[in-house]
Amino acid sequence: MKVTGGGIGALLRVAQRDTPVTMQLLVMSDTHVPKRAHDLPEQLWREAGRADVVVHAGDWVEVALLDELEERSRRLIGVYGNNDGPELRARLPEVARVDLDGLRLAVVHETGPAKGREARCARDYPDADVLVFGHSHIPWDTVAPNGLRLLNPGSPTDRRRQPDHTYLTARVRAGRLEQVKLHALPPR
Pairing of strands 103-108, 130-132: parallel
Give the residue-averaged pLDDT of 92-109.
97
Task: Estimate the crossing angle of helix 42-50 against helix 63-72, to 10 degrees.
Answer: 40
pLDDT the model gives residue 16: 52
- pLDDT category, 34, cuts 50, 70, 90? confident
At residue 51, what is the residue type? A
pLDDT, averaged across the chain = 90
**pLDDT tens column, 86-95:** 999 999 999 9
112 torsion bin: left (phi>0), alpha (psi -120 to 50), beta (else): left
- pLDDT category, 24, cuts 50, 70, 90? very high
pLDDT the model gives residue 161: 86
**pLDDT tens column, 133-173:** 999 999 999 999 999 999 999 999 998 888 999 999 999 99
Tell whether the model's pLDDT for residue 6 goes beyond 50.
Answer: no
Tell whether the model's pLDDT for residue 184 goes beyond 50.
Answer: yes
Tell whether the model's pLDDT for residue 35 goes beyond 90.
Answer: no
Instruction: Please list the helix, strand and coil fractions of the chain in percent, rounded to the nearest 5, in that order.
Output: 25, 30, 45
Q: What is the biggest distance separating any 2 CA atoms in the chain, rounded to whole angstroms?
A: 65
Q: The CATH number of 20-184 is which of 3.40.30.10, 3.40.630.40, 3.60.21.10, 3.20.20.70?
A: 3.60.21.10
C-alpha to C-alpha distance for 17 and 137, rounded to whole angstroms:
39
What is the secondary structure of 164-187 as a DSSP string? S-EEEEEEEETTEEEEEEEEEPPP
Tell whether the model's pLDDT for residue 72 goes beyond 60.
Answer: yes
> Domain coordinates of the chain in residue numbers?
20-184
